A and B are shown apart, each in its own frame.
Chain A
Amino acid sequence: MSGHAEHKETQGGYEPKIMAFVCNWCTYAGADLAGTSRMEYRPNVRIIKLPCTGRIDPLFIIKAFENGADGVLVSGCHPGDCHYTTGNYHARRRWIGFKNLMEFVGIDMRRLHFSWVSASEAIKWVDLINNVTDEIKKLGPFMDYKGLKEAAPAE
């Protein structure tokens, strides 16, 4: 299956694609709240919902880049607020170890964002998406990994 949406060339120029991995209980609910409150934010983000940030396998992130993401966001409950008590601590610990590996495999850490957003922090979510989008926009498209996917033999 190939990702279809090419980068839109609108009047604003290049529009980055951002993939967000979020937990079901805090960030997903926070993003829903931004909707029910009719806030507005940049449309570049595509959310994948998981039960908890503890479920997030670092490979998801690499795969996202491979499939054309220019930036990746990981977001869940604040420390201490995880629905499963400690899932986000695991995620954080794993993340620290993984950071070095990410750098080693050539992922620009500025393209990777980690943030706690609670179910009530709709404004934080909105600001986060807008800021991340702007930042990635400045960095331009992330070509290194996109190439990989196209070069790989078809699944």
Chain B
Amino acid sequence: MPRIGVFVCQCGNNIAATVDTKKVASDMGKLLGVVYTCDYKFMCSSPGQEMLKQAIKENNLDGVIVSACSPHMHEKTFRKASEAAGLNPYQCEITNIREQCSWVHHDKTRAVGTLKSNDLTRMTIERLKRNKPLQKIKIPVKKRALVIGGGIAGIQAALDIAEGGREVILVEKEPSIGGNMARLSETFPTMDCSQCILTPKMVEVELNENIKLYTYSEIEKVDGYIGNFTVQIRRKSKYVDEERCTGCGECIEKCPFKVESQFELGLAKRKVIYTPFPQSVPNVPVIDAPNCTKIQKDKCGVCAVVCGPKCIDFKMEDKVVTEEVGAIVVATGYTLMPNERFGAYGYGKIKDVISGMQFERLASSSGPTGGEIRRPSDGKVPESVVFIQCVGSRDEKCGVSYCSKICCMYTAKHTMLYSHKVHGGQSYVFYMDIRSGGKRYEEFVRRAIEHDNAMYLRGRVSRVYEKDGKVIVQGADTLSGSQVEIEADMVVLATAIVSREGADTVAQKLGIGYDKYKFYNEYHPKLKPVETVTAGIYLAGTCMGPMDIPESVAQGSAAAAKVMALFSADEMAREPITALVNKVTCNACWDCLTACPYSAIEREAVKNRQGEVVRWLAKVNDGLCQGCGVCVAACRSKSIDLKGYTDEQVFAAINAF
């Protein structure tokens, strides 16, 4: 026979005004298994909690009900007090007779409130009788982190975690870390040179003993759950022995073949054995296998001949390595909307119509023109440049209804760079409206307009075409209400920021969500901005949506802080509300497995003594299960139940209705 105690709270007058708490206590005392009842002014006060503890001990209670405010308020308080008195905390249940009774039924005779409080308490008592003691789930935590993507966001996250004393594995798919920021010339709003602030951080990554850097590598497979992930990483063959390479660059020097440089976005060529840019980290070249005549046709091989330390190996193969980590930070960044979408603007057809990122390369002192603004077609310094904003952004027809957020700022920056580099040059900007809502951002745009003589025209461009070596831009100036036609030497398009190709595949490997643009979903847009729905996996930077460097860095640090908090204890305690399979009745239909939103259900093989599989069973992974109970309702043979919300408990409550 259970020994249940019922404690009815008056909550000052908050409950007592419309509920006769004494009557509830005495009515409940008549129920089977209830051995102690009382009512009290403030159950949550220290004396209230003391009384609860006292009563548990003196009456040897094996379950308690506190009929009081919402469990969202004080369930934890009373469970803790019960635990202190030696009771399993999950043997303490709350009945909500305040928010959902006394406060919403204002009957002053107290008849209505008392009756409802009785009903609700009785239902909780019957449920409690079917409770089983539960133990918090303890999960051991591996204190190493994986960071995917070595742009500024990933670099920041990796450095912060490493400086906190934990090991980090940083995986970057390109031959060098740095990401898009490595391409930028100078950065708004302070105009510091991008390389100057980025390179030291890249070097720090290389030198930090806590960071293991895998470049030219990608995630192959992710298994496990928070605290315990197993990750397979494919290290693509570089054909160069990283350990022995000194980075002398002799091989690059002597390689006779050139192809288009992805890093320079088609504005320059690079060798077939190459580093993407001079400050690459690591400073180890890779061979672009599809273009290498030695690898393809067994001709040439000059790099291997000139290499002093003999680190070139044309037979090198991809390697898959396995790493165990406790947390993952995803920082895979963004790309720009591909050219083909902007036929009307001549992009891809007219040589002197370029993207904003290409302009960054022209303005960069380490770029193909050494920082001089020269147009791609004939290398001439353009006397006038038209910048067009919102190309693809805020335009559902191009597939993107959002604002790319940073283009207003970098276009203003481009007009400044242009006016500093080309004296007497005239820039025009077509814009929809100016969004400069950051610290010192509005002042920055004003400076472009007032000091650097940029001519801002509010309106859309209708057509761009080539005529006599000029690029003609036709558009509307909606402020003056007139049509304008500008003869420009070059046109720069602020193309939309979009997610990377394959972003969805990466998300599926990790089990995280993404929106219709394939940007990754944060758990909660305001309160959990760097978490994902998968515990232990965090986000940073532009893989979530357009943002600038300061935001990307802040998120890198935020994700690192989350990881460090997780690593602060050896074990993680979790609420034990998880699903449990009945091994006798489960018929391996996998209905639960397909229904579970967290892929928490696994297939378990039951083997006989000979080691042959005799049957299969569903098995819940406690590390992944979030306790939603979707599987329970999905199972047709009633072979899976949810601890803390078992069928038996729920039916008992319904029966007591």
Contacts and interface: CB of A to CB of B under 8 A. Distances in A.
B630 A84 contact: yes
Contact of A55 (B100, B113, B630, B654): B630
A121 to B, nearest CB: 15
Contacts of B101: 35, 43
A19 B655 CA distance: 11
A41 B650 CA distance: 25
A94 B598 CA distance: 19
Most A-side CB within 10 Å, residue of B595, B597, B628: B628
Which of A28, A43, A64 has the most chain B CB atoms closer than 10 A to its own CB?
A43
Contacts of B113: 43
B98 interface: yes
Interface residues of B, number: 48
A35 B99 contact: yes
Interface in A139-155: none
Interface residues of A, number: 47
A54 B72 contact: no
Contacts of A17: 657
B616 interface: no
A43 B116 contact: yes
Contacts of B626: 84
A16 interface: no
B112 interface: yes
B118 interface: yes
B642 A3 contact: no
B112 A43 contact: yes
Given A35-B70, A36-B103, A50-B650, A87 B119 contact: no
A69 interface: yes
Contacts of B533: 85
Contact of B651 (A5, A47, A63): A63
Nearest to B99: A35
30 contacts: A3-B655, A3-B657, A19-B654, A32-B99, A32-B100, A34-B104, A35-B70, A36-B99, A38-B103, A41-B104, A43-B101, A43-B107, A46-B116, A47-B100, A48-B653, A48-B654, A54-B628, A54-B630, A55-B629, A55-B630, A55-B642, A57-B633, A60-B654, A63-B655, A84-B597, A84-B628, A86-B597, A86-B630, A87-B629, A90-B630
Interface of A: 1, 3-5, 8, 17, 19, 28-29, 31-36, 38-41, 43, 46-52, 54-58, 60, 63-64, 67-69, 83-87, 90-91, 94, 126
Given A47-B120, A64-B654, 13 more contacts: A3-B656, A4-B122, A5-B115, A47-B100, A48-B653, A51-B577, A55-B642, A64-B657, A85-B597, A87-B628, A87-B630, A90-B633, A90-B634
Q: Which 8 A-B pairs have the closest CB atoms?
A: A55-B629, A35-B99, A54-B630, A84-B628, A35-B103, A32-B99, A52-B628, A43-B105
